[in-house]
Amino acid sequence: GIQVEQSPPDLILQEGANSTLRCNFSDSVNNLQWFHQNPWGQLINLFYIPSGTKQNGRLSATTVATERYSLLYISSSQTTDSGVYFCAVEVTYNFNKFYFGSGTKLNVKP
Amino acid sequence: DAGVIQSPRHEVTEMGQEVTLRCKPISGHDYLFWYRQTMMRGLELLIYFNNNVPIDDSGMPEDRFSAKMPNASFSTLKIQPSEPRDSAVYFCASSPLNEQFFGPGTRLTVL
């Protein structure tokens, strides 16, 4: 099956810093989503981004499907950004079946 | 819309007991997914439905697990009999086509 690798696995930031999280995948995909799992365990949609670039406030994401990676940018990080960030991909040969990466655990310190 | 609703939010049971988890998807979403999250295995897809019909149940761990979707607004995931290794957070998600929206999850502890 498809391999979804996220890096870095852990990240510690000082409040106000910027960061880039990466998601690499080993096969062609139809769709890609980024999620934030907050410290209470809730999975929150950040971006649905099969290709191109999207921005939402301090967060933006870019997916280059032909090169099989996606990037999530967090600017001016805040303590509320802490949690785990997951990317999930839907493969072209298995419609609607999403595979999750193992996540990047982010800790933003005040 | 209230989002995906799951109940109960927490469940503690003893080994051998039957456990039923419930999910109400977002109205109008044709797809419903059940996931399990553990530290060891991360997020795993167990089963998904399209228009109330199970499409792919290859992720269901064994016969002790079963899922139903009797109508467009309700689904259950049942474990019978439960075992300690079933302890995990179980998420339900729904989708209109491509983008998935998750419920708050049910934290299951089997003693």
Contacts of B40 in chain A (CB under 8 A): none
> Which run of H or of E encompasses A43?
strand A43-48
Q: Across all residues in chain A, what is the average pLDDT?
A: 94
Q: How far apart (Å, rounded) are the C-alpha atoms in residues A27 and B66?
A: 31
Measured at the CA of A95, the angle between CA B91 and CA A105, to 5 degrees, comes to 45
State the CB neighbour count (10 A cutoff) for residue B40: 6
Check A97 against B48: CB less than 8 A apart: yes
Give B6-55 pLDDT, tens digit per residue.
Answer: 999 999 999 999 999 999 999 999 999 999 999 999 999 999 999 999 99
By CB neighbour count within 10 A (0-12 exposed, 13-18 middle, 19+ buried), where does A10 fall? exposed
pLDDT band of B1, cuts 50, 70, 90: low
Residue in chain B closest to A40 (alpha carbons) equals B104
State which residue of chain A sits closest to B102, comparing Cα positions: A43
Three-class SS of residue B85?
A: helix
Taking an 8 Å cut-off on Cβ atoms, the answer to whether A42 and B91 are in contact is no
Query: What does the pLDDT look like over B52-96, one tens digit per residue?
Result: 999 999 999 889 999 999 999 999 999 999 999 999 999 999 999
Backbone CA torsion sign across A19, A24, A28, A33: negative
Give phi and psi for A67, each to the nearest 5: -105, 0
Contacts of B99 in chain A (CB under 8 A): 31, 33, 45, 48
Contact B101 A45 (CB under 8 A): yes
